[in-house]
Every structure is written in C-alpha cells, then in structure tokens.
Structure 1
Amino acid sequence: MSLKSELTLDVIDTHTEGEPTRIIFWNDIPKNLPDALSVRNYFIKHYDYIRTTLLQEPRGHKDQFGAVLLPPVNPGSSYTVIYPTTHSYLDMCGHATIGVSTALVALGYVQYEGSEKIITYDTVAGTVKAKVKIEDGEPVSVSIVDVKSYFVKKIDINIDGKIIPVNISYGGNFYAIVESDSIGIDVNTANIGKLMEYGNIIRKKSEQTIMNMYPEGKKNLEPLAMITDSKHDYRAFVTFGGNSFDRSPCGTGTAARAALLVHDGKLDINGKYTNESIVGSRFTCKIISYEKVNDNIIIVPEITGRAWITQLCKIIVNPKDPLKHGFLVQ
C-alpha cells in the first residue's frame, strides 16, 4: 500500500499555559521582502491554504492557533514569525512566541550556552525578544520583551439599551477591554457561553474604532476583546474571531491590560502584575521601561509564561480528499 500525498508538513504542537500553538517552518519566500508585514502579505496571497489545512477541521478545531517560522528580514533576528488563526492572522502573539521559543530550544533548532537563550523575532508588530530560561538542559519558562504598549482611548457601546464603557488598549494587538461588572457576568468557566456571547458583541461594536487605527495593508485583522473580572483583580477572558477564546492569559492582552492599568493609576510604572486565564493559568507581566508622550505613558512590558511540547507529527494532504484544505463548522 502506498500513501499518496500532494503535501506533507512537519508540525510541532505546543501548549502555553493551556493555549495550543501549531508550529511549522516555511522557507519558500522571496529574499528581498522589506519587513514582516510584506512577508505575511506574500504568505496570505500564495499560501493561505496552508493556514486552513493546518488549523481548521479535520486536523484542527475552531480554537486552534498557529505560528509560521520564516527567514528573518532584519539583521540579528533568527526568524520572521507570522501568527495564523483558523480565520485570520494576528500581528503578534505572546503565547505562541513562548511556545515557539520553548520548541526551538527543546528540539535543538537554536544553540545555547548556560542557563538562558535570547531569540529575536521579526513580527508585524515589531521586533520581539524571547529570553528562554533553561534548567538541566530543558526550557522551563520564557520571558517575552513585547513591543511598546499603550492605552488608546475610552469609548461607550450600547448593548441591549445599556451603555457599556470600553477601554481600547494596545499590546501588540488592539483590545477592547470591558469590566465584568458592567455586563453582569463573573469570569469563570461556568459562564463561558455568556462570556463568548458578550465578547463577540464587544468586538463587533468596537470594530470600527479599532480598524481605524490600522494603516492600509493590515485591514484583514480582527479586533480582540478582553473581559476583566471585577471580583478577581487579575483574571481575564479574551475572545477572538471565529467564536474562539484564549485558554492562556493571553500575552498581548496581558501587555495591553498593563498599559491600561498604568494609565488608570492602578499599576506603578516600575511594577508588575500576574494575569490569570479562565482555566487558572498565569502570566507575569513586568514593566521594564516606559516613556511619556504628551499625557500618555507608553510601556515596554515583559511577559513570562511556560509552554510544553505536546506532539511532533506529519500533516498529510491527499490530493483526492475533498476537504483537504480544511473547513470550519460554527
């Protein structure tokens, strides 16, 4: 018996504090592309079927997440990374970068000496550095030095006749952040259905405000929503497009929330806090530098979390399979 395949993809699967990342290497990209956005646009134009093949059913699921490692565009960087989801792409992803960095060290794709390895990535959001802590030859945690993060503005949205205050904040992606008390829902696993419902409404009603902040060429992206728990200082629930939500505390969301906390005077500009996910996993956020621009404070946050390799496998694409490039059922 022979196994027919028009495409075979070697895959590394990880989870970062509960959130999956499916990782592949992809080198079929022109060498003269000037930046990570150009790399992503090229990949979308020519290879978007790779995203759907890897992440959507039957090989994935609606909450699957990915990372594609490509050649770097800047001197000193190890890789360009783009972050596909089942429905779109994000500019930056903290949990995926932690997963990628863990896998690169654990599987020997990067060399290191001592107890720390620094890996530099080109992302659409900017240059991101990952500091991998190593004990007994194994990665035990990763600290991501994220891009500059900042509070943007406060807006109001109307949900069923009630005015809900929303904070727009940036941490590598733009987030619409809402306190749980304002919608009358506690952030816990018993309320996931309602949290998803409200998260999707918040995203859609904040979409135009957020999309207006993106330059042309990045309009394929979708807004993200974070519902913070008013009864639990640093628990939060993050929703994406495609009716999906983050099992981890969300790296760029943790950064965006830190910027909001600093703006509201609830976090010292030299301070740190712990952000907790819906499943109880945690990221630590430390502010490592800041600058004042007019009346706003722009921070550089460092997000620390853990990831584990869950499987190494080959994705097989049979040319006769009518669903070979994936599908989603919502």
Structure 2
Amino acid sequence: MKPELTLQLMDTHAGGDVSRIVTRGIDRLPGASVRAQMEYLRDNADGLRRLLLEEPYGIPEMSVDLLVPATDARAAAGYIIMEVMGYPIYSGSNTICTATAVLEAGIVPKQEGRQQFLLESPAGLVQIEATVHEGVVEAITCEGLPSYIHSYQATIDVPGLGRVTYSVAYSGGFYALVDAASLGFDLTLDEERTLATTAHAIVEAIQAERGFSHYTLGDIGPLPFLHFMGPLELVTDGYYRSRSATYVHPGVICRSTTGTGTSARLALMHHEGRLKPGDKLETVSLRETGFIGQFTSVERKGEYQVIGNNITGRGYVIARSDIVVNCDDPLVDCGSLHHILSASDP
C-alpha cells in the first residue's frame, strides 16, 4: 500500500478570520531562520498554501499557519503565515490564533492567570501575553510590528469613484487608509461586497501610479491592503472605538478588523496627534467582532515617527482534524508539495 500522506490541523479563528494551524505532517524545512524557511516554502513548496486555501480543502478567506521549530532558543515555536495573496511576514490575527494553538496543543503549558512566552515569526521574535482563566485562553496580547505613516492625505483619481483621499501606513505590509464616510459607507455587513469592489479599484489605481519603500526593508512589493476607517468615538479618557474593515485580496474583506490594520490606524492617529502612550483603540468589524490596539511608544527612524504597539484579541479553536492528501485527486497538485510531506504508514 502507498503510505498515507496526512496533515494534522487545528482550525481556529480570531475575530472571525479562520487560521488553519498545521501542527504535524510537514518535514523540517531548510533555513537558518523562520524567515529563511518561509522563503524556501514560498519558492519551492507553495503547493502547501494552495492546497489548504483552495478547493476542495479550503477557501481564499482562510489563512494557514505552519508551526515550525524555532531557530531562536528563546522562542517556544516558530510559525509561517500563508494567505491567499502570499506570505506576509506578520499578521496580528494569525499570531493570536497561533499563540492560542500552541497553548491548546500543550506546546506551551497553560498557566492560570497571565503568562508570557515568545514565538518566532518571519518578522522576528514576538512577545506573547496570554490570559488563562480556569484552563480557558481568554485573551492573547501580541506585539504589533513597528508602524509608521509613509504618506499622509494623498489623492488619486479612481475610475468610477472620482478623486479619493488616502494615507499610507506600514504595519507589517503597506496599507491605504481611507475614510469610509467620504465614500458613503457606514461599515455595516450589507456593504461587504461593495466595500471589496471599491477597495480593489482604489488599490489597483494606487499600484498603477506609485510604489512604496520601507525605510529598512526597501522594496517589499506593491501596496496590497486597504483599511476603511469609521468615525472615532471617545469611549473614555484614552480609549477610542471605531468601526473598521480591511481589504486584503480581490473579493475578500477580512471578517476581523485585522491586527495589522489596527496597528496602521494607530500610526495614523499618532501622526495626527490624537494619541499618547498607553492610549487604546478598539476596532469593530462588519460582524461586530473587535481587536484592541494599544499605542506604547514612539521613536524617530530617519524621516519617520515609528510607533510601538500591541494588539489584544481572542482565539477560538473550532476544529481538530487530519487532512488526507491524495495525490491521485485531479484537484490536488502535489508537484510543489510532495517533497515536504511526512509519510506515515496507513
């Protein structure tokens, strides 16, 4: 008999965005860092991403996080993020889900109350604080990437929309930040399809007109994301709330507000003089889920004011399963996948 090729998964979600955590079934990847392992996977084994995000196994709205051994001894585990648009070096919702999974899988033993540990992402080490109550992981707080405003209040002509005003932030990827009300949106669930169409048109127009370069990373590709911003509500001193929606791919508005989208909004609020260290922003999605971002620090990096921040949310385990990879299935392309699958006897 042929050996059975299986992947062990823990499906989770944070704010509605499903992250499929691959806990077993992939051989150790080459690379001296998690970033290098990500690059190997991207360049030599992209079949794993496509397998789990495309039919018959998945849908583009999901994400995949592959657990790998950390290359930094201080980290409990490493993880590689895969989404329909590729391989982001960081994601808040995926980090929240991955941290939840390593606790639920016992990779990091749960401790009642608050506990801290490190994970290694392709962007580097990430500090995690988990809140556990009676054995239940009730909250995860993770570091956001250093974030800053690259361009403020730029304008562009968008076919079918006219002149659109936007700012550009970096928070793990480049984001266009757009005031939703200026385009007639209230950021309610019935607007989801129109929001996706509108965001796609704006992003395509920006990509056609200009590119963006990170102050240390250089050219990291065209701007991929757009964050629609609702009005700011001051809930109490130092605590704000705003409806939000994040576009990540043609036809895809994230079910959550996203961690990096929240970090991008924090960078804009600081740029506009609205925040002091310790202030928080709760972003609320079309599905009434939310993340809480906190502005923690700021430092000058060349011409940019770069903010430190963290993101708090909750991850939920929704399934544990084994995926059987059948290379005889005409819908499965094992060509860029087979060499990294661990074979087990049936």
Please say whether Structure 1 and Structure 2 have the same fold, judged by a TM-score greater than 0.5: yes
User: Distance between the aligned counterparts of 1:87 and 1:169, measured in 2?
Assistant: 19
Q: Does 2:74 match 1:76?
A: yes
Would you say the 8 A contact 1:174–1:210 is kept in 2? no
Partner of 1:228: 229
User: Distance between the aligned counterparts of 1:23 and 1:91, measured in 2?
Assistant: 16
User: Distance between the aligned counterparts of 2:181 and 2:328, measured in 1?
Assistant: 52
Partner of 1:286: 294
Moved more, 305-314 or 119-128: 119-128
Q: How many residues align?
A: 321
User: Distance between the aligned counterparts of 1:222 and 1:13, measured in 2?
Assistant: 29
SS of structure 1 residue aligned to 2:129: strand
Q: How many Å apart are 1:163 and its aligned residue?
A: 1.8
Could you say if the C-alpha distance between residues 54 and 211 of structure 1 is closer, same or farther in structure 2, counting changes exceeding 3 Å? farther
- Give the TM-score normalised by structure 2: 0.85
Letter of the 2:136 counterpart: E
User: Distance between the aligned counterparts of 2:48 and 2:69, measured in 1?
Assistant: 17
User: Distance between the aligned counterparts of 1:37 and 1:223, measured in 2?
Assistant: 20
Partner of 1:248: 256
SS of structure 2 residue aligned to 1:172: coil
Partner of 2:115: 117
Partner of 1:175: 175
Partner of 2:267: 259
Q: How many Å apart are 1:317 and its aligned residue?
A: 1.5
Partner of 1:193: 193
User: Distance between the aligned counterparts of 1:145 and 1:320, measured in 2?
Assistant: 43
Q: How many Å apart are 1:112 and its aligned residue?
A: 4.2
Matches within 5 A, 1:193-212: 193-207=193-207, 209-212=210-213
Q: How many Å apart are 1:19 and its aligned residue?
A: 1.0
Could you say if the C-alpha distance between residues 237 and 52 of structure 1 is closer, same or farther in structure 2, counting changes exceeding 3 Å? same
User: Distance between the aligned counterparts of 1:173 and 1:5, measured in 2?
Assistant: 40
Q: How many Å apart are 1:92 and its aligned residue?
A: 0.7
SS of structure 1 residue aligned to 2:48: helix
Would you say the 8 A contact 2:226–2:248 is kept in 1? yes
Partner of 1:136: 134
Would you say the 8 A contact 1:171–1:256 is kept in 2? yes
- Give the TM-score normalised by structure 1: 0.89
When the two chains are superposed, the root-mean-square deviation of aligned CA atoms in Å is: 2.4
Partner of 1:92: 90
User: Distance between the aligned counterparts of 2:223 and 2:322, measured in 1?
Assistant: 30
User: Distance between the aligned counterparts of 1:104 and 1:255, measured in 2?
Assistant: 24
Letter of the 1:312 counterpart: R
Structure 1: 5+ residue runs without aligned partners? none
Q: How many Å apart are 1:45 and its aligned residue?
A: 2.1
Q: What percentage of residue pairs aligned between the two structures are identical?
A: 25
Partner of 1:148: 146
User: Distance between the aligned counterparts of 1:5 and 1:202, measured in 2?
Assistant: 48
Q: How many Å apart are 1:10 and its aligned residue?
A: 0.4
User: Distance between the aligned counterparts of 1:217 and 1:77, measured in 2?
Assistant: 28
User: Distance between the aligned counterparts of 2:33 and 2:14, measured in 1?
Assistant: 27
Q: Of Structure 1 and Structure 2, which has the larger fraction of its residues in strand?
A: 2
User: Distance between the aligned counterparts of 2:169 and 2:176, measured in 1?
Assistant: 7
Partner of 2:330: 322
